[in-house]
Structure 1
Amino acid sequence: MPDAVVITCSTRAASGVYPDTSGQLLASALREWGFAVAEPVVVADGAPVGEALRAALASGVDLVLTTGGTGLNPTDRTPEETAPLLDRLVPGIPEALRAPGVAKGIPGAMLSRGVAGVADRTLVINLPGSSGGVKDALAVLAPVIAHALDQIRGGDHPR
């Protein structure tokens, strides 16, 4: 069974201003997909995101999904905390994650700055913080996650 970590990057959720709904959506979906995943780690924006990412990567999990901190707000620093930890970028993933929102006429979807890539043998993907953006992202990721993880482990391309 593959394992995953979900990190919610939100100062307001971390301080209890509102509940973490997007992280819960991700954890629930991952469990349905057969992943072993604990409750989401909820951290404030900025340096705490990098700390949580480094801890997740050190644990050797297969997949890390972050939610939040990908916008243009000055405190939205998830991509900046993520990118230095990646060995290889996978730019097609964030491109595909933005597309459904834009297609639905949500122009703000194109402002998401999330990145995706591989750190050692872990796939790391930044998702938006909104529940709608997470639902769209899950629909995009569902058919490709298993294949991506297999590729990271050295699996062959399907014929």
Structure 2
Amino acid sequence: MPDAGPGAAPPGPDGAGLRALVVTVSDRASAGVYEDRSGPVLVEGLRALGLGVDDPVVVPDGAPVEEVLRAAVAAGVALVLTTGGTGLGPRDLTPEVTARVVERSVPGVAEALRADAVARGVAAGMLSRGVAGVAGRTLLVNVAGSPGACRDALRVLTRVLPHALGQLGGGDHPG
């Protein structure tokens, strides 16, 4: 995993000073069968928000995902977005692996992502089993594994990320 850097700096209104990590979960992309197209979408969007983020880490589904998530939490990364592994396939294990790392669930985030997809006419959005939660001071969110789903997720998440990351960094509710 690339050096995640500290994520404990108090966030600015645009995420300044915070580190994020994007994890692409794909057996095929991790094996070099095809190029990761979803992770770079998330990286670009997080950089536009002012978060410090390296290129995506690409791992196969299962235990490697848990290892990367736990390392990010231990390093104090403020936000981890995973892309892929949230469907119904037998190797789509990202929600289960993420749930093992999460200490406090934040179900509204995953629900909002699914609701947005369905509202836009993407019926398959209701099949995404992605979860969201907090471990330490890290917010972990599973996003479906397509570039379009990643763009849509960023649009939804940008409405709440500054507040969520501020709270995780020790901030209070806005007055």
- TM above 0.5, yes or no, is yes
Give 1:34-45 correspondences, 5 Å limit. 34-45=50-61
Task: Name the SS for the 1:125 alignment partner.
Answer: strand
The code of the aligned residue for 1:57 comes to: V
**For residues 36 and 157 of structure 1, what CA distance do their matches in structure 2 show?**
24
Q: Which runs of 4+ in 1 moved over 4 A?
A: none
TM-score (norm 1): 0.97
Question: What's the counterpart of residue 73 of structure 2?
Answer: 57
Whole-angstrom distance in 2 between the partners of 1:36 and 1:106: 31
Measured after TM superposition, the shift of residue 125 of structure 1 is 0.5
Q: Is the 8 A contact 2:27 2:60 kept in 1?
A: yes
Match of 2:90 among 61, 70, 74: 74
- State yes or no: 1:94 paired with 2:113: no
Deviates more, 1:147-156 or 1:135-144: 147-156
Given that 2:22 and 2:81 are in contact with CA atoms closer than 8 Å, whether structure 1 keeps it comes out as yes
- Corresponding residue to 1:110 among 126, 149, 152: 126
Work out the CA distance in 2 between the residues paired with 1:101 and 1:146: 22
SS in structure 1 of the partner of residue 140 of structure 2: strand
DSSP 3-state at the match of 2:29: helix
Q: Say whether residues 1:137 and 2:153 are aligned partners.
A: yes
Q: d(CA) in 1 for partners of 2:138 and 2:65?
A: 16
Residues 78-102 of structure 1: per-residue CA shift (max 9 Å, x gap): 0111111111100000000111211
1:75 offset after TM fit, Å?
0.1
What is the CA distance between 1:154 and its match in structure 2?
2.6
Percent same amino acid among aligned pairs?
A: 60
Aligned residue pairs total 159
The equivalent residue for 2:21 is: 5
In structure 2, C-alpha distance between the alignment counterparts of 1:154 and 1:11, rounded to whole Å:
37
- Verify: 1:20 aligned to 2:36, yes or no: yes
Shift of 1:153: 2.2
Residue in 2 that maps onto 1:47? 63
Deviations 1:26-84 (A, max 9, x none): 01111111111111000011111111111211211111110000000010000111111
Q: Please, what is the CA RMSD of the aligned residues?
A: 0.9
The gaps in structure 2 that reach 5 residues or longer are 1-16
Matched residues in 2 for 1:142 and 1:56: separation?
21
| Cα distance in 2, alignment partners of residues 7 and 13 from structure 1 | 12
